[in-house]
Amino acid sequence: MTDLNPQAKHMADESMVRNLDAQARAIWPQEVELIRRYGLPPDIQILDAGCGTGEGASRLAELFPQSRVLGVDILDHHLELARRRYAALASRVRFEHRSIYELDLPDASFDLVACRHVLHSIPFPDRVIAELVRVTKPGGRLHLIPEDYGMLHFQKGAVDPKEFWDEVPARFGEQTQTDLNIGRNVFTHFVALGLEDITMDYVVVDTVRVPRETFAAIITAWRDGYAEVSAEVSRFSVEQTTAYFNQMIANILDPKGYATWMVPVASARVPRGRR
């Protein structure tokens, strides 16, 4: 139960390391403004749940210069990379092997709990959110990026990527027991847990706001990591899934083209009276 990770192979792939780097470069400049709105002081305790290679943990540590940050993940390769990359922050930033289903950390330990790009990839996201709430201090904040694969839009070319997005995430979700529309569903999970001051915002990764090369690097990494499994779960062949990804990349790189990925950013406060 503690290490359910149906995408373990893809998460460990070299293409995922590239993807996390490009995603952070695309998303953080808009995300940081949303985090500033929480009005948190510089010396807080932060958890980055499912920290991967430390893209979020390191940026949070820099944003809150007196904070202490704990990044947890179940992929040791990612944790080792994060420790090497952010060795200069080691006095304030730790990376530990822990499962976000069962953190084995005391209740009410953190002022800010981030969980970026994880909840769409694992079964029972409601259990994980409840565990994150448990370790958040009363009055503390949850900051989630719950992806939603109905929020990507590309122009048609040789093939129409809409056909891919209409079919593949639904089949993939069924076969892995994961919710690839968690972005639109997370509000309901927050309400069920009695959280307050819920906000839903969007980072807009599009060809106007984000350098085309950065956006294209994300989709290229997805193609390299996911074209094969997308074919396994759907009616498409690997050639077809690759062609859909290639059309998305061509669309993004075309100076006359427009493409967008709406990335949900969900936040809520744990009620102050909560024990």
Where do contacts with ligand SAM occur on this chain (CB under 6 A)?
Answer: 3, 5, 11, 20, 24, 50-52, 55-56, 72-75, 78, 99-101, 116-118, 121-122
Contact (CB, 8 A) for 218 and 19: yes
Enter the DSSP assignment of 210.
S
Burial class (CB in 10 A: 0-12, 13-18, 19+), 98: buried
Helical spans, DSSP H, in 93-237: 125-135, 161-176, 182-192, 212-233
Least distance between ligand SAM and beta carbon 136 (Å): 16
> Which CB sits closer to ligand SAM, 164 or 226?
226
Residue that is written with structure tokens 């969900």 in the block: 266
Closest by CA position to 111, among listed 150, 68, 152, 81: 68
Contact (CB, 8 A) for 143 and 262: no
Least distance between ligand SAM and beta carbon 217 (Å): 14
Least distance between ligand SAM and beta carbon 235 (Å): 26
For residue 106, give the amino acid letter. P
Burial class (CB in 10 A: 0-12, 13-18, 19+), 236: buried
Biggest distance spanned by C-alpha atoms of the chain: 57
> Which CB sits closer to ligand SAM, 147 or 243?
147
Burial class (CB in 10 A: 0-12, 13-18, 19+), 122: buried
Least distance between ligand SAM and beta carbon 52 (Å): 3
Nearest residue to ligand SAM on Cβ basis: 52
> Which CB sits closer to ligand SAM, 248 or 265?
265
Least distance between ligand SAM and beta carbon 4 (Å): 6
> Which CB sits closer to ligand SAM, 56 or 169?
56
Contact (CB, 8 A) for 173 and 180: yes
> Which CB sits closer to ligand SAM, 50 or 140?
50
> Which CB sits closer to ligand SAM, 19 or 247?
19
Least distance between ligand SAM and beta carbon 49 (Å): 7
Query: CA end-to-end span of the chain, whole Å?
Result: 25
Least distance between ligand SAM and beta carbon 212 (Å): 21
> Which CB sits closer to ligand SAM, 1 or 158?
1
